[in-house]
Homo-oligomer: A and B are copies of this chain.
Amino acid sequence: MSTRIQILDAGEQLARARGLEAFSYADLEKAVGIRKASIHHHFKSKADLALALIERYSERFADALRDIEDAHVTPQERLRAFTGLYRDALAGGEQVCLCVAFAAGRESLPGTVALATRSFQEMALAWLEVTFNELNTPEFPDDPQDEAAAFLALLEGAQIMARGASDPALFDAAIRPFIRRLGVTGLKA
């Protein structure tokens, strides 16, 4: 695995567990095992690193959405799989989605990073809107745009809650009513 990727991996883990401002090149030095100056060789500034982090995260997320589309046909199944992405991102209650970590401290983000974070969110919302649009059932009667926003908010908030208590069970509890509503719908369809 290339050094560059090792740095990205360590940076992502730290950003998602602590927040972008709460880790330093010294932390990366320890995590990766090379000197700070070498980290700077790969990422000239911390803003560059942050941008690379959210861009890689976006690409991977887009891939994951394509995988969901390939593996699942019904909107119910796709939404359940989407939930799984956020559940996995919790990492046992020790991390949140990078987008959540960045959005929380938005005012301290470099401009390009703030924009990329916003794009990530828009990608997620757009995908969900399409999916809720296909889910034409009485349990979700609202504007698909609103249902998409409500669902993404639920998942992001469930991560924050679980993170606050370092307890993934809170994520599961928060998601349960939605999953049940979805399940009932699935049986009807």
- A residues contacting B by CB (< 8 A) are 17-19, 21-23, 94, 96, 99-108, 117-118, 121, 140, 142-143, 145-147, 149-150, 152-161, 163-166, 170, 173-178, 180
Contact = CB atoms under 8 A, between A and B. Distances in A.
A163 B106 CA distance: 7
B176 A150 contact: yes
Contact of A105 (B22, B161, B178): B22
Contacts of A94: 107
B174 A18 contact: no
Say how many copies of this protein the assembly contains. Answer: 2
Contacts of A121: 161, 164-165
B161 A160 contact: no
A188 to B, nearest CB: 16
A61 to B, nearest CB: 14
Contacts of A160: 100, 103-104, 153, 156-157, 160
B157 A107 contact: no
Contacts of A96: 104
B165 A161 contact: no
Given A21-B22, A100-B104, A100-B160, 14 more contacts: A99-B164, A104-B160, A105-B105, A121-B161, A142-B176, A146-B176, A150-B173, A150-B175, A150-B178, A152-B161, A154-B154, A156-B156, A157-B159, A157-B160
27 contacts: A17-B106, A18-B105, A19-B104, A19-B105, A19-B108, A22-B107, A101-B105, A102-B164, A103-B160, A103-B163, A105-B105, A106-B166, A142-B180, A149-B170, A149-B173, A150-B154, A150-B175, A152-B157, A152-B161, A152-B174, A153-B153, A153-B158, A154-B157, A155-B157, A156-B160, A156-B161, A157-B160
